[in-house]
Structures are given as C-alpha cells and as structure tokens.
C-alpha cells in the first residue's frame, strides 16, 4: 500500500470538494493502492471555543459582505455543479474545529477515521449542524458506530488536545499553508481540490509502477 496523507479542516469547503472528487476516483478504482490517513490543520486556530456567527465570521475574514461574496463565488459555483445537495444557507455558526479533529483522531484509533471525516463534512455542509458542539460531535460518533457516551466524556476533558495542536504545528513547519494538501508516499505534495481525472491518472500510474 502507498500512504496518502490528507491535511484538512472539516469546515473547509475546498477540502470537502477535494474529498468528493478523490472518492469518485477511489470508487472507480476499487483496487487503488492508497492507505489514507487524515491529519489536522485548523483554518482558524484562534477561533473562540464557542465559534462565531457565520455571517460575522465571513465578513471579518473577507473584509465585508462584498469580499465574502467574491471569495465564496467559486466555491458556490462548484458546489452547485458537482454537489447540489450541499446547502451553505443552513450553516449558522463557524465552529472551532479542535474537538472535531479530536473526534477524527479517536475514530482513527477505532478504524473509522474516513467515516468520521465524511460524517463531519456531511453534518456541516449538508445539514448545517454545529460541529463545534460536544453534543453534536457525540451524536456523529454514534452515527459511525462509535460509543457516543465515551466520546462525550472524552470531549469534557483535555484528552489529546496537545497532540492535535502539535500535529497542526508540525504540518505548518513542513510548509503546509493551506488545505486540502495531499502527500503521496511521503514524497509528493498535491495541493488543492484536484479533479477526479487527475486522481485516476495518479492511481493508474502508481498501480502500474507497483505491479512491475
């Protein structure tokens, strides 16, 4: 197997688009050689723990309503074309994602990491749920057959916070500045939400190479 490390944040629309496009390639090539690992990268590491009102956050980040609309227009166009089931209008709060990354970490220990990432993206972008909420994260854990009560108890502690922060910092030290970033076999970095066709070419090339 070839390791595919993916640095992401579950509130990043480009990460969701990138995952969706990669998933289509993986479905088309079920014998792909990838062993996928998800890694934390907080877009807003200084976000208040309780998060912010969505519109307030966008206006602050993009210097007003006009700036937010301009920045999000390419995202909206792609989502409308490729993922029409996404409804950004349902999102009322932009959360702090530290606890969501903790859930992904614990899901990895349980062998459910990709399921957790998928569930977080779905909860946030399709259902407009607050994935910074302890109760919502516990519900999501239950939805992917983890123990929701155990996750709720862990979220009430500082368990693995230092590890998530350290991994996020290490990603930045490696030169990762934006997500999604995909690192293939610890050698080749691919940035951004690449089209499915590119992933098909990569998979076919790697499959051919490993068969030699």
> Which of 194, 188, 192, 191 is closest to 206 using CA atoms?
188
pLDDT digits (tens, 9 = 90+) for 60-108: 989 898 988 898 899 999 999 999 999 999 999 999 999 999 999 999 9
Helix (H, G, I), strand (E, B) or coil at 127: coil
pLDDT digits (tens, 9 = 90+) for 118-161: 999 999 999 999 999 999 999 999 999 999 999 999 999 999 99
Taking CA atoms, 53 is separated from 42, 82, 86, 130, 149, in Å, by: 18, 27, 19, 11, 28
Prediction pTM value: 0.96
């Amino acid at each position: 197997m070839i390791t595919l490390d993916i640095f992401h944040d579950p509130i990043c629309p480009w990460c969701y688009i990138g995952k969706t496009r990669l998933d289509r390639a993986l479905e088309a090539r079920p014998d792909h050689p990838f062993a996928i690992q998800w890694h934390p990268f907080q877009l807003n590491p200084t976000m208040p723990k309780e998060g912010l009102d969505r519109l307030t956050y966008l206006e602050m980040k993009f210097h007003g309503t006009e700036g937010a609309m301009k920045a999000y227009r390419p995202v909206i166009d792609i989502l409308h074309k490729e993922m029409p089931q996404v409804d950004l209008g349902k999102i009322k709060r932009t959360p702090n994602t530290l606890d969501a990354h903790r859930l992904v970490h614990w899901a990895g220990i349980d062998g459910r990491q990709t399921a957790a990432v998928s569930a977080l993206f779905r909860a946030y972008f399709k259902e407009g749920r607050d994935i910074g909420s302890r109760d919502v994260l516990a519900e999501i854990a239950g939805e992917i057959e983890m123990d929701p009560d155990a996750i709720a108890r862990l979220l009430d502690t500082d368990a693995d916070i230092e590890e998530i922060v350290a991994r996020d910092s290490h990603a930045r030290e490696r030169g990762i500045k934006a997500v999604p970033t995909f690192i293939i076999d610890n050698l080749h970095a691919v940035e951004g939400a690449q089209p499915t066709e590119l992933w098909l070419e990569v998979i076919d090339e790697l499959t051919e190479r490993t068969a030699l």
